């Protein structure tokens, strides 16, 4: 037997796993090791972190987090999907003490590294080469930049597992391939990012077809269906919620093309931080100069960096292996889709029924990065087997970087931004030269050392780019002002979305987030356990949007308007005047940054003076418009108007999934509760089942008998029970598959 040299020996699995975990955490260390700093910014700080408290509280109490009572007069929580309640990373972060939002972000980054490693291994990469692919993916601009939007990071972390599993399922010699495929697809389905689930299915099935032909494709497809069923506890409620949302009606064409990858940003794949630089300012002047019609002053992702080492090794894999060629082709296809209207992709995808509902095409740079990193692993093995003479040609990448520098140099930019552009281009050029130097060195060292050197090159390139993709800032301590209101407490309306100063203030994003939290803007209000009538989400219920447009907010129990302190633009001043008409300003401590007004409003629970019936939602909306200025009249979706009478609410209690109201009525009456109507809510009066009605399109009403009684409402959505049944049956089927495919014991 040939003796294997130290540098040609594969490291053990535990060592590889440890290096993957530690290596992927290195860029996050400045925030993880400092309790006063956080990785949460943008939507992670505004949307996910505040709502995360409801998720953690429920899971630690052994409950399913079904309902969020604080946003939009109440809204399903689990069914929204985007919070990834049942994703393993979410469960681990919730159940381990002391793991806050930064810990969850770290778990997803580690999951991305491990998943990309598994994909590279499924394509035939060695452990060291696959290690490089995993670290390259985890330290890429798209993965680290997604710390600003938790659901996209969850998708980036979950997608590789589904693709790798489907590839393995097509291999007849892989006893656990089917189980890996089902679990990987379930992971992608539970993350909450539907587009990444679709990409996992499309990419994995393509690789399965390549590996096992039509039979392999059929096998992988069957296990993918099992994985989707395994995630039924999430998918079934999410489907019900989606059908009742605006997104089911389609997406504004302008939003489909918004935040597509600018062709000029392709240069940034090799030059980190080119368009944004250090994250913090609220504007990116170079991006704005090239995208003057953008709705936002910042791009979707702060970085699309992949790095010259990954690109060079991926190209080598495309030259030397079929699997490498397929991975590169898939990456190029994703980049084409990411460009949106630039090369005609958007004109094709908008005709696809499901795909046409997705937004922000730049997200497709994430799977492109994944496939290139997987291909790079194969390229590293190829260069270990035989050094490549053409790798020095990657140094020619300096030429387009230099041309880009000349082109961008003609754009009028602030001096600090101009210096940042120069630094980014220099880093990209240095990476190109490093790859060329590695090619010279590779011919002079042993194969194992080539792998290790190539892996180190990929890791160092990503590590150098991490500061341009991550935002490490102070935690948000601000909370909305303490306002007095009868139980269940104040309900806010925040008509102005606080914005930071447009100039390149180093603390602009942090200052903006702090002001938004202090105003109680949705969803910062959830962290303070205060209601806000509005909702920050890309998926809003039809009833919410329609009702607020037709009748305004005061009809739905809004007690206070909270706004930033002046100055205001003319449009903002008009908004403030309309929102605070007839209101009384509340004296707050001097020197604050917000103003608060007590506004006339309907009580949270009260008896209607008059009711009119509507046979459908559309009819109810039409009638609501006619009585919008009459708070005494309630529109009820019923065959005939229910009886009304005077009454008094004696006490109310509201939990997360439960409401209790004690009241008395002088006759048969209609009690209106200003929390959102949803078919999942059930009601009982003195223990006897009673029917809930949709009132004023958005909230709930119930026929209340004469006398003193106790009304109880509980949120018990039928679709969650249906999803649990589907997941349970799928889990039993998966266990059976595992037992049938279990390899025989070695004698």
Integer CA distances (angstroms), 724 to 184, 657, 745, in order: 19, 18, 34
Gap between the Cα atoms of 81 and 79, Å rounded: 5
Same-domain check for residues 564 and 691: no
Same-domain check for residues 467 and 515: no
Query: Got the DSSP string for 683-708?
Result: EEETTEEE-EEEETTTEEEEEE-SEE
pLDDT tens-place string over residues 476-505: 888 899 999 999 999 999 999 876 555 545
Interior angle at CA 566, CA 562 and CA 570, nearest 5: 100
pTM: 0.94
Which of 246-255, 465-474, 733-742 shows the highest mean pLDDT?
Answer: 465-474
Per-residue confidence (pLDDT) for residue 5, from 0 to 100: 37
Confirm whether 45 is domain-assigned: no
Same-domain check for residues 313 and 254: yes
Confirm whether 729 is domain-assigned: no
Gap between the Cα atoms of 528 and 115, Å rounded: 36
Rg for the chain, CA atoms, rounded? 28
CA 296 vs. chain centroid, Å, equals 18
What is the chain's mean pLDDT, rounded? 90
- Going across the sheet that includes 692-695, the strands are 605-607, 669-676, 699-704, 692-695, 633-637, 610-614
Range 637-650 average pLDDT: 94
Burial tier of 584 (Cβ tally within 10 Å: 0-12, 13-18, 19+): exposed
Query: Got the DSSP string for 201-234?
Result: HHHHHHHHHHHHHHHHHHHHHHHHHHHHHHTHHH
Integer CA distances (angstroms), 92 to 52, 62, 102, 195, 502, in order: 13, 14, 13, 24, 39
Per-residue confidence (pLDDT) for residue 418, from 0 to 100: 84
Confirm whether 565 is domain-assigned: yes
659 or 742, which is more confident? 659
Per-residue confidence (pLDDT) for residue 294, from 0 to 100: 63
* Cis amide bond preceding 630, omega within 30: no
Interior angle at CA 43, CA 37 and CA 44, nearest 5: 45
Integer CA distances (angstroms), 300 to 32, 194, 353, 504, in order: 25, 18, 24, 18
Per-residue confidence (pLDDT) for residue 500, from 0 to 100: 58
Q: Which of 378, 442, 383, 346 is nearest to 133 (CA)?
A: 378
Domain count, the chain: 3
Q: Which of 71-85, 291-305, 510-524 has the lowest mean pLDDT?
A: 291-305
Same-domain check for residues 292 and 439: yes
Q: Rounding to the nearest 10 degrees, give the CA dihedral for residues 488, 481, 509, 80.
A: 0
Confirm whether 481 is domain-assigned: no
pLDDT tens-place string over residues 731-744: 999 999 888 766 65
State which residues form the domain around 18.
Answer: 6-35+81-473
Alpha helices in 415-539, H assignment, sequence order: 415-442, 447-469, 508-519, 524-527
Extract the tokens encoding 469. 């993709």
Per-residue confidence (pLDDT) for residue 306, from 0 to 100: 95
Domain boundary among 575, 598, 621: 598
Gap between the Cα atoms of 692 and 681, Å rounded: 8
Confidence label for 159 from pLDDT (cuts 50, 70 and 90): very high
Same-domain check for residues 117 and 255: yes
Same-domain check for residues 389 and 530: no
Confirm whether 105 is domain-assigned: yes
Range 328-357 average pLDDT: 83
Res 593 pLDDT > 60: yes
Per-residue confidence (pLDDT) for residue 742, from 0 to 100: 65
Per-residue confidence (pLDDT) for residue 3, from 0 to 100: 32
Pairing mode of beta strands 491-493, 560-564 = parallel
Same-domain check for residues 223 and 301: yes
Confirm whether 342 is domain-assigned: yes
Confirm whether 413 is domain-assigned: yes
Residue 75: its H or E element: strand 75-76
Range 202-215 average pLDDT: 95
Range 458-484 average pLDDT: 88
Same-domain check for residues 240 and 380: yes
Gap between the Cα atoms of 178 and 227, Å rounded: 10
Domain boundary among 441, 473, 505: 473
Confidence label for 128 from pLDDT (cuts 50, 70 and 90): very high
Gap between the Cα atoms of 208 and 166, Å rounded: 6
In SS3 terms, 514-576 reads as HHHHHHCCCCHHHHCCCEECCCCCCCCEHHHHHHHHHHCCHHHCCCEEEEECCCCCHHHHHHH
pLDDT tens-place string over residues 300-331: 899 999 999 999 999 999 999 999 999 999 99
Query: Got the DSSP string for 649-683?
Result: EEEEEE-SSEEEEEEEESSSEEEEEEEE--TTEEE
Gap between the Cα atoms of 358 and 197, Å rounded: 12
Looking at the chain, the number of H-run helices and the number of E-run strands are 27, 20
Same-domain check for residues 594 and 615: no
CB 122 within 8 A of CB 164: yes
Per-residue confidence (pLDDT) for residue 7, from 0 to 100: 46
Res 4 pLDDT > 50: no
Same-domain check for residues 534 and 613: no
Per-residue confidence (pLDDT) for residue 504, from 0 to 100: 45
Confirm whether 56 is domain-assigned: no
Same-domain check for residues 584 and 624: no
Domain boundary among 580, 598, 616: 598
Gap between the Cα atoms of 127 and 342, Å rounded: 38
Range 164-181 average pLDDT: 92
Same-domain check for residues 614 and 559: no
Gap between the Cα atoms of 617 and 603, Å rounded: 24
Res 694 pLDDT > 90: yes
Confidence label for 6 from pLDDT (cuts 50, 70 and 90): very low
Per-residue confidence (pLDDT) for residue 558, from 0 to 100: 95
Place of tokens 């082109």: 407
Per-residue confidence (pLDDT) for residue 744, from 0 to 100: 56
Q: Which of 507-511, 610-614, 647-651, 683-687 has the lowest mean pLDDT?
A: 507-511
pLDDT tens-place string over residues 402-433: 878 778 777 878 888 888 888 888 888 888 88
Place of tokens 């269906």: 225
Range 637-659 average pLDDT: 94
What percentage of the chain reaches a pLDDT higher than 90? 66
Range 77-92 average pLDDT: 95
Q: Which of 416, 420, 425 is nearest to 504 (CA)?
A: 416
Gap between the Cα atoms of 430 and 309, Å rounded: 11
């Amino acid at each position: 037997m040939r003796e294997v040299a130290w540098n040609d020996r594969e490291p053990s699995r535990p060592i590889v796993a440890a290096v993957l975990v530690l290596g992927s955490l290195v860029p996050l260390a400045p925030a993880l090791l400092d309790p006063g700093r956080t990785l949460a910014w943008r939507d992670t700080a505004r949307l996910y972190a505040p709502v995360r408290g409801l998720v953690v509280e429920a899971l630690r109490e052994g409950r399913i987090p079904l309902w969020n009572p604080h946003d939009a007069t109440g809204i399903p929580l689990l069914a929204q999907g985007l919070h990834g309640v049942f994703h393993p990373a979410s469960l681990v972060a919730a159940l381990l003490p002391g793991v806050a939002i930064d810990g969850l972000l770290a778990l997803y980054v580690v999951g991305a590294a491990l998943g990309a490693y598994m994909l590279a291994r499924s394509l035939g990469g060695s452990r060291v080469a696959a290690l490089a692919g995993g670290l390259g993916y985890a330290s890429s601009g798209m993965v680290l930049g997604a710390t600003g939007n938790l659901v996209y990071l969850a998708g980036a972390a979950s997608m590789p597992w589904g693709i790798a599993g489907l590839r393995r399922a097509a291999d007849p010699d892989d006893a656990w391939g089917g189980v890996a495929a089902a679990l990987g697809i379930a992971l992608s389905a539970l993350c909450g990012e539907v587009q990444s689930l679709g990409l996992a299915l499309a990419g994995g099935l393509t690789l399965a077809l390549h590996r096992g032909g039509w039979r392999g494709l059929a096998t992988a497809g069957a296990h993918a269906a099992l994985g989707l069923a395994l995630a039924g506890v999430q998918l079934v409620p999410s489907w019900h919620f989606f059908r009742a949302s605006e997104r089911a009606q389609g997406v504004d064409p302008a939003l489909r093309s918004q935040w597509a990858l600018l062709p000029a940003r392709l240069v940034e794949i090799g030059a980190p931080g080119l368009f944004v630089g250090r994250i913090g300012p609220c504007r990116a002047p170079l991006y704005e100069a090239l995208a003057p019609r953008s709705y936002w002053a910042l791009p979707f992702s702060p970085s699309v960096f992949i790095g010259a080492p990954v690109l060079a090794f991926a190209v080598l894999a495309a030259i030397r292996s079929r699997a490498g060629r397929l991975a590169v082709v898939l990456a190029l296809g994703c980049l084409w889709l990411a460009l949106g209207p630039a090369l005609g992709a958007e004109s094709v995808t908008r005709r696809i029924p499901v795909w046409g509902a997705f937004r922000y095409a730049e997200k497709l740079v994430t799977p492109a990065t994944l496939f290139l990193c997987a291909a790079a692993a194969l390229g590293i093995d190829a260069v270990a087997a035989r050094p490549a003479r053409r790798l020095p040609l990657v140094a020619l990448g300096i030429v387009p970087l230099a041309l880009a520098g000349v082109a961008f140099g003609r754009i009028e930019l602030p001096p600090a931004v101009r210096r940042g552009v120069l630094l980014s281009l220099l880093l990209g050029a240095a990476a190109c030269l490093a790859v060329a130097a590695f090619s010279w060195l590779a011919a002079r060292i042993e194969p194992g050392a080539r792998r290790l050197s190539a892996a180190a090159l990929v890791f160092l390139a990503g590590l150098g780019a991490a500061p341009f993709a991550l935002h490490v800032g102070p935690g948000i301590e601000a909370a909305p002002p303490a306002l007095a209101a009868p139980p269940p407490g104040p309900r806010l309306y925040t008509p102005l979305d606080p914005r930071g100063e447009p100039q390149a203030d180093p603390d602009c994003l942090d200052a903006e987030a702090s002001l938004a939290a202090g105003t109680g803007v949705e969803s910062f209000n959830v962290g303070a356990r205060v209601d806000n009538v509005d909702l920050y989400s890309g998926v809003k219920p039809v009833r919410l949007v329609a009702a607020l447009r037709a009748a305004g907010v005061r009809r739905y129990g809004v007690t206070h308007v909270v706004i930033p302190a002046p100055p205001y633009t003319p449009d903002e001043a008009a908004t403030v005047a309309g929102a605070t008409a007839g209101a009384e300003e509340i004296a707050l401590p001097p020197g604050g940054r917000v103003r608060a007004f007590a506004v006339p409003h309907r009580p949270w629970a009260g008896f209607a003076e008059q009711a009119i019936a509507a046979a459908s939602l559309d009819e109810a909306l039409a009638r609501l418009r006619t009585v919008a200025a009459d708070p005494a009249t309630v529109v009820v979706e019923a065959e005939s108007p229910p009886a009304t009478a005077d009454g008094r609410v004696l006490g109310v209690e509201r939990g997360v999934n439960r409401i209790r109201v004690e009241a008395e009525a002088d006759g048969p009456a209609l009690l209106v509760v200003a929390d959102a109507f949803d078919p999942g809510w059930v009601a009982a009066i003195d223990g006897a089942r009673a029917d809930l009605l949709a009132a004023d399109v958005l909230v709930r009403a119930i026929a209340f008998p004469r006398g003193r009684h106790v009304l109880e409402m509980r949120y018990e959505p039928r679709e969650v029970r249906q999803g649990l049944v589907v997941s349970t049956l799928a889990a039993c089927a998966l266990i059976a598959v595992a037992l049938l495919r279990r390899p025989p014991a070695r004698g």
